[in-house]
Structure 1
Amino acid sequence: MELRSEMAANRRSEATGGGGGGRGESVVEDCGRQESSCGYCKSPNGSSSVSHGLIAESLNVDDYQDLLDRGWRRSGSVLYKPDMSTTCCPSYTIRLKAADFSPSKEQNRVCRRMERFLDGTLDTKAKPELLEDLNTSKVACECECHGRSNLATVETSVDVEEDKNEPEQFMHYLSDAIDKAVQACIESETFSANLQLPKASVKGVSPTKKKKLVKGLENLSYTSNIAFQLAATLRRARSEKKDEKGSEFSGISAEDQLPSELTPRRIGEKLARSLSQTDETSGFLVQACNGHLNFYSIAEHASADKTGEEKSLSKESSTRNGNKRRCMVRCCNCCSGKRRKLEILLKRSSFEREEFELYRRYQLKVHKDNPDDITEEGYESFLVDTPLVFVPSTGDGSVPPCGFGSFHQSYVIDGRLVAVGVVDILPKCLSSKYLFWDPDFAFLSLGKYSALKEISWVKENQVHCPSLQYYYLGYYIHSCSKMRYKAAYWPSELLCPLRYSWVPFNVAKPQLDERKYVVLSDYKDEDEKPVLPPVSEMEDRDIGKALIGLRGSRLRYKRSVL
């Protein structure tokens, strides 16, 4: 072989339109060996992470697919490959054949959780452990807004557990509703924003106490003494203000400065009015009684006036109304008939302000980054800039409808951007690069959910482009516990770092348990000798189409005739 040098200007025009079978020409510059600190093992050695680097000015999708299958990966326009035998945390390329994917129970729960969130049957206010319990089964709901067609079969054991937890769920839900009413009073300057006000607590009224109540109050279900606690806090603050400044307490608005306004009775009435003006307590009648906030069951109150004929249906009615109240607790939007809309939009990689602001929030809250380190320039070089030459759809089955190249897949719920997946779509795969999401939606496990949707995307688009079969999850680092989640997408394969053949994860895992760096193909099959990848995976590519940067010029490989 000999090297032929050509001027950069001539090559630039070829790179954007010339060779590569109409898919552009790859232009890369060798950066050599790179040593840096490791973000996985946090080694004190500042040069423990070792890799080889390239900078790509342009890169056609076929060449990048081949590079992926040789252990390379890109970050913006930088290509890198770990030096597996010397780096502190060997990184194995991992992929999954989408058609063979078998979701786990946890992955199925993630999908069901999202569906319940969208249709309004997920209690996002519940305690974490309770939320997990709710995620293990579908909700039995007979609300009119759902209709009987949405009823789901729930195992008896789950029903028993839910019935046992139901009072606690109601009390937790109503406590949150009261806290919102207190916050509304703060915003309207009824209460001072400078005070540390107590959190509301709600207690259930036992059947024994109900029997002792006067007639007409039998339907009292829950009560709260928050007004007494607030009154004590406000009076204490008012007294301290007098002692310090000798003036009246300024923690309440001008119209409420009279001492009578600090009584539990007046505060209870204010909170009851605030709660009645919202949908937070639909299913209950809220009344203030001598400072106590009382919640009466509307269903039970209505049943007291039933005729004898109606009472014969009381058992069925109470069951239905009970389910209505249960649904109310599990989702604040259920009884209003609101269903959320999820949109998943795929577009070519570009800078958008809304996406950058979401990325910034994600990095600050999830990764605890320094605010000064999060810049538009850094974001663009990391997740927007791409050397991949876009290939539009041809309609002949060789390219999917969206084309090949770099894309941002955005997840939008009711018009609000909640997550963005940065992906490369190549001739054989969808390669997942990065995902950032709204911390307010952490309970939806958007990282897992987006991976499942990306796998589904590959399955769906294989119809349009038969070569598109795999989902690449980036690097798998067995020595880093935070990276092991990738093996949960089963059945996955790891790339052998020496022979570049694919080895099932269940074969590779026992070897990786023993040592970090393993020639995986040595263990591919006990009865099979190590072999090179099949011819189908080693396409006969013309390396003369690749340009190498050297001293300001571009060098092209050219075969010599001997």
Structure 2
Amino acid sequence: MAGKTRNEASSSRSGGGGSNRGESVVVDVGRRRSTCGYCRSGARTSISHGLWAHSITVDDYQDLLDRGWRRSGSFLYKPEMERTCCPSYTIRLRADDFVPSKEQLRVSKRMQRFQDGTLSVKKQDKINDGPKTSKSSGSSIHHEVSGSAAKGTLAGKDEEKNKVEAFMHYLSDQIDNAVCACTESGEFLCDIQLPKASVKMVLPAKRKLQVEGSEDLLYSSNISFQIAATLRRAQSAEKDVPHSKLSRHNAEEDVSSIAFLPKTIAEKLASSLNHMAKVSGMLIRACNGHINFYSARKGNFLSEGIQIVNGAKESPTGSGSEGGCLKKSSECPQGKRRKLEIRLKRSSFDPEEFALYRRYQIKVHNDTPEHVMESSYRRFLVDTPLVFVPPTGDDTVPPCGFGSFHQQYVIDGRLVAVGVIDILPRCLSSKYLFWDPDLAFLSLGKYSALQEIGWIKENQAHCPSLEYYYLGYYIHSCSKMRYKAAYRPSELLCPLRYQWVPFDIARPLLDRQPYVVLSDFAVLQNGESTPHVPENLMEMQHNGLNEEDANDIDDEEMDDADFVNSDDESDSEANGPTSVEIEDGDVSNVLIGLKRSCVRFKDLQHAFGPSERAYLETQLRRYMRAVGAEVAGRMVYSLG
């Protein structure tokens, strides 16, 4: 019977072409509480239902998306909308109906001008990336200031700030070059990914005048501490590595205590940077593990330093230097074209992608370097439970297949952005995007969204069912996530009946309350443009939540380890209308996986005692309400 049941379940997951698309196997982790990355309340106010997916078919995951689920790596989660602090509505757009706004058209034209070589550097510096960057300085400030004198003052400050940032990028690049040189010479391990440098300005209050009285400390980097930690981890994970690989000069010494000390690493890097000191006129010294940059003379050294950035374009060695290649191209003469390539590849770990991700998280989201780990990156953006479906050539699957992909944006051979996406039977689901902070002026977040929408339109000829662009979650109380609604006309998923409601209908409702059963008001779409909300009905649906801004997060990194189980809580529903659509009935058809066999619960329940059976039935009802009766009958609910 078990074999027969497995065959029936597998056939129900076959695609339109008749080929088997694999099997979905999940472990139910139940209701979970965690801290919220949007409202930053500090308490465990984010409540969701979680599943750990060993594997999942593209058809099952498509159906889960249409019930409000998302994934972070192999962990699937669905907010419990009545209870969670920041209700998250799935938002989508029919690609054929998309009408670009003036701003979105400007983004496309800006990229075209950048490729043509007609976008001047001065204009680039004043263009802000909008909602996908956590920094709001730049051109937006100029629009808020009246008076030409005030504008001129701010423009001067912005220009000086841009020069400082450009010079710190230059210093970071030089340190990275020094790290590469030490690696190639055998000073450091050559088979691991070392962190990238970050240089910070030393505030005047913290600057220490040297004994001679003629040297000012201007910039500093703590990269030696990060490299030391990375080398120690690598050495502990691979104790059999020959000492000659770790340090050519210290082969007879204790590697972990000498060669891996931040002080030793800083001295090696400072020595390697001596060539730059001669060019720049700066003094570079190692001090207690820090690499310090001093001005050897008084005066406005900053302007001289910026000249070095412009005049030393040839100093970065190859494409390994962060920013070196792109700085040369961004300062090319008018009319010189740049080549943009968009490459689609199946999800896998790529060191170049990770280096870009790391830089993006540190520069844009202000993550500390020690928190941007390769392991968390793999877990968040590389690992996927989706079973890949190859192209069939019968108009049911696009040429790339179905599954998880990374869409790379490459300018003149250099990776500048990566979009993490899932391509499913009815949609392209955008999961995350990370980009080169030096290219914020190109608004790559908006540009990539336009490209993904265009990709759907192009591939409908190969797969007519591929119609929609899913932008993840929309949180109305989070102002920095409202940019998603700019891709019009969009729809939000009703959190109770799972019907799609036009955003223009949902918006005035969400202005009143964070949680709304949207389908109750869907009938208004043919009526007034600003629907009247019955006061008593809104009060029935949910008590109000505080509306607070949150950081701009595409899809928050989530993991089972980040949660606290709260399945022992009461399962009573919040006050308000309940839907007849909620599956709270017979769980006998749920597919159970036990000891490598698959059987329906109705064929297995006799194997449990009364108390065990009652407990399992409670868990299965909650699971079925979350995933739906149809999906619960297809996916394998693993018990071990």
Alignment TM-score > 0.5, same fold: yes
What's the secondary structure of 1:121's corresponding residue?
coil
Could you tell me which of 15, 30, 33 is aligned with 2:31? 33
Aligned to 2:541: none
Aligned to 1:125: 122
Q: Give the corresponding residue for 2:412.
A: 414
Q: Work out which of the residue numbers 63, 74, 77 in structure 1 matches 2:71.
A: 74
The equivalent of 1:358 in structure 2 is 356
Q: Aligned partners of 1:276, 1:25: CA distance in 2, in Å? A: 56
The whole-number CA distance in structure 1 between the counterparts of 2:505 and 2:481 is: 18
Aligned to 1:491: 489
Alignment match of 1:478 (pick from 476, 486, 489): 476
After superposition, what is the alpha-carbon deviation per residue over 1:33-57, rounded to whole angstroms, capped at 9, x for unaligned? 01011110111322x1000011111
Q: Which amino acid aligns with 1:359?
A: Y
- 8 Å CA contact 2:87–2:515 kept in 1: the answer is yes
Instruction: Name the residue aligned to 2:427.
Output: 429
Name the structure 2 match of 1:65. 62
Q: How does 1:239-250 map to 2 (within 5 A)?
A: none
Report how far residue 460 of structure 1 moved.
Answer: 0.5
CA contact (8 A) 1:428 1:467 kept: yes
Matching of residues 189-200 of structure 1 within 5 Å: none
The one of 340, 346, 349 equivalent to 1:348 is 346
Q: How far apart are 1:423 and its partner, in Å?
A: 0.4
The 2-side partners of 1:528 and 1:253 are apart by: 73
CA distance in 1, matches of 2:109, 2:331: 18
Change (3 A) 1:551 1:514: farther
Q: Is the 8 A contact 1:73 1:79 kept in 2?
A: yes
Q: CA 1:552–1:85 in 2, change beyond 3 Å: closer, same or farther?
A: farther
Q: What does residue 371 of structure 2 align with?
A: 373
1:116 and 1:122 in contact (8 A); partners too: yes
Q: Aligned partners of 2:377 and 2:599: how far apart in 1?
A: 32
Distance 2:374 2:278 in 1: 44
3-state DSSP class of the match of 1:64?
helix
Question: Are residue 86 (structure 1) and residue 83 (structure 2) matched?
Answer: yes
Quote the Cα distance in structure 1 between the aligned partners of 2:309 and 2:372: 41
Q: Which moved more, 1:20-29 or 1:512-521?
A: 20-29
Distance 1:53 1:131, change over 3 A: closer
Whether the 8 Å contact between 2:499 and 2:519 is mirrored in structure 1 is: yes
3-state secondary structure, aligned to 1:465: coil
Contact 1:496 1:502 in 2 (8 A): yes
1:371 shift after superposition: 1.8
2:110 match: secondary structure: helix
What displacement does 1:333 show?
A: 2.3
Q: Percent identity?
A: 62
Structure 1 distance, partners of 2:69, 2:352, is 31
SS of equivalent residue, structure 1 residue 525: helix
Q: What's the TM-score, normalizing by structure 1? A: 0.59
Distance 2:310 2:403 in 1: 54
Q: Whose radius of gyration is greater, 1 or 2?
A: 1
> Which runs of structure 1 show a deviation greater than 2 angstroms over 4 or more consecutive aligned residues?
4-7, 14-21, 124-132, 239-242, 251-254, 273-280, 330-335, 526-529, 546-560
Of the candidates 433, 439, 442, which is equivalent to residue 441 of structure 1?
439
Q: Which amino acid aligns with 2:490?
A: S
**Partner residue in 1 for 2:627:** none
What pairs up with 1:260-339 in 2 under 5 angstroms? 332-335=331-334, 337-339=335-337
Change (3 A) 1:366 1:276: closer
Aligned runs of 1:367-406 on 2, under 5 Å?
367-406=365-404
Report the CA distance shift for 1:81/1:548 in structure 2 as closer, same or farther (over 3 A).
Answer: farther
TM-score with structure 2 setting the length? 0.52
**Secondary structure class of the residue paired with 1:125:** helix
Which residue does 2:101 correspond to in 1? 104
Query: Measured at CA, do residues 434 and 556 of structure 1 come closer, stay the same or move farther in structure 2, by a change above 3 Å?
Result: farther
Kindly tell me: are residues 108 and 60 of structure 1, through their superposed partners in 2, closer, same or farther at Cα, counting changes over 3 Å?
same
Letter in 2 for 1:87: T
Q: Which residue of 1 aligns with 2:48?
A: 51
Deviation at 1:365, TM superposition (A): 1.0
Query: Are the counterparts in 1 of residues 128 and 443 from structure 2 also a CA contact under 8 Å?
Result: no
Shift of 1:278: 9.7
Tell me if structure 1 keeps the 8 A contact 2:348–2:382.
yes
CA contact (8 A) 1:340 1:414 kept: yes
Question: Deviation digits for residues 84-129 of structure 1, max 9, x if unmatched?
Answer: 0000000000000000000001111111111111110111234744
Q: Aligned letter for 2:449?
A: A
Q: Which secondary structure does the structure 1 equivalent of 2:122 belong to?
A: coil
Alpha-carbon deviations, 1:67-86, whole Å to 9, x = none? 11111111111111100000
Gap runs ≥5 in structure 1: 133-164, 188-236, 243-250, 257-261, 263-269, 281-329, 536-542
C-alpha deviation, 1:338, in angstroms:
2.1
- Structure 1 equivalent of residue 507 of structure 2: 509
Alpha-carbon distance in 1 for matches of 2:127, 2:43 = 44
Partner-residue secondary structure (3-state), 1:51: strand
Change beyond 3 A, Cα 1:452–1:275: closer
Gap change, CA 1:123 and 1:5, over 3 Å in 2: same
Instruction: Pick the aligned partner of 2:453 from 425, 448, 455.
Output: 455
| 1: CA distance, partners of 2:443 / 2:109 | 11
Q: Alpha carbons of 1:275 and 1:353: their partners in 2 closer, same or farther (altered >3 Å)?
A: closer
Instruction: Classify 1:72/1:358 alpha carbon distance in 2 versus 1 (closer, same or farther; 3 Å).
Output: same
Structure 1 residue identity aligned to 2:38: Y
Deviations 1:220-245 (A, max 9, x none): xxxxxxxxxxxxxxxxx9x9669xxx
Structure 1 distance, partners of 2:356, 2:343, is: 16
Using a 3 Å threshold, how does the CA distance of structure 1 residues 128 and 28 change in structure 2: closer, same or farther? same
Give distance in 2, aligned partners of 1:114 and 1:353: 26
SS at match of 1:490: coil
Contact 1:349–1:407, Cα closer than 8 Å, also in 2: yes
Letter in 1 for 2:332: N
For residue 370 of structure 1, report the CA deviation from its aligned partner: 2.4
Give distance in 1, aligned partners of 2:313 and 2:348. 41
Task: Output the CA distance in 2 between the equivalents of 1:469 and 1:123.
Answer: 38
| Partners of 1:54 and 1:389 in 2: CA distance | 16
> Which residue does 2:518 correspond to in 1?
520
Identify if the C-alpha distance between structure 1 residues 29 and 555 changes in structure 2 by more than 3 Å, giving closer, same or farther: farther
- Sort the Cα spacing of 1:527 and 1:18 in 2 relative to 1 into closer, same or farther, 3 A: closer
CA distance in 2, matches of 1:87, 1:253: 58
Kept in 2: contact 1:499–1:521 (CA 8 A): yes
**Letter of the structure 2 residue corresponding to residue 368 of structure 1:** N
What code does the residue aligned with 1:77 have?
A: S
Paired residues, number: 383
Q: 1:338 to 1:29 in 2, by over 3 A?
A: same
Amino acid at match of 2:117: G
Q: Residue 28 of structure 1 contacts residue 548 of structure 1 at CA under 8 Å; is this kept in 2?
A: no
Q: What's the secondary structure of 2:524's corresponding residue?
A: coil
Secondary structure in structure 2 of the residue aligned to 1:420: strand
Q: CA deviation at 1:364?
A: 1.1
Task: Tell me which amino acid in the other structure corresponds to 2:494.
Answer: C
Q: 1:547 to 1:26 in 2, by over 3 A?
A: farther
Distance 1:114 1:378 in 2: 32
Flag the 1:33–1:106 CA change in 2: closer, same or farther, 3 A: same
